[in-house]
Amino acid sequence: MKNIQYLFVGIIFGLALTKGEAISWYRIQEMFRFESFHMFGIFMTAIPTGALGLFLIRNWNLKTMEGTAIDVPVKKYHHGVIIGSLIFGFGWALTGACPGPLYAQIGSGSLVTIITLLSAIAGTWTYGRFQSYLPD
């Protein structure tokens, strides 16, 4: 039952990504070339909306629907945050997609993106395989 709720929130998220054209390769090129405000406007309104929601949850001490506590684990810094993020940035410029948009692109009818997704899964596996050899 819970999973249906996550599915539903995913639909909202995917619909917004798609209708907002955040899954469009053209929009990503435009963003990296600083030739339109569109994508920056999305980030600059999405983040404060999320932050406000989180602030209200903490301020009113809200619980989950099951009554359990809500806590956001702290993200730890390691050098991979810089190295990995730069590599992801290269991939974002090439594919025009982050992991979320990969799923949405497939749904929107670009079936060849299944190959891009499989390659992303292979990339994640390769990271897991060589993790211990890479600088942390």
Partner 1 sequence: MNILYSPWPWYITGPVIGITVPLLLLIGNKQLGISSTLRQICDACLPGTLPLFNYDWKKDSWNLFFAGGVLIGGLIGGVLLANPEQVAISQNTAAYLDSAGVHDRSGLLPAGLFSWSSLATTKGFLMMIVGGFFVGFGTRYAGGCTSGHGIMGLSALQWPSLVATTCFFLGGIIFSHLVLPFILAL
> Of residues 68-107, which lie at the interface with partner 1 (CB under 8 A)?
68-78, 80-100, 102-107
Q: How far is the CB of 63 from partner 1 (least distance, A)?
A: 8
Q: How far apart are CA 25 and CA 42, in angstroms?
A: 16
Distance CA 111, CA 23 (A): 14
Reading the block at residue 106, the tokens are: 């497939």
CB 119 within 8 A of CB 95: no
Minimum separation from the CB atom of position 59 to partner 1 (A): 12
Which of 59, 60, 61, 129 forms a contact with partner 1 (CB under 8 A)? 129
Least Å distance between CB 133 and partner 1? Answer: 12
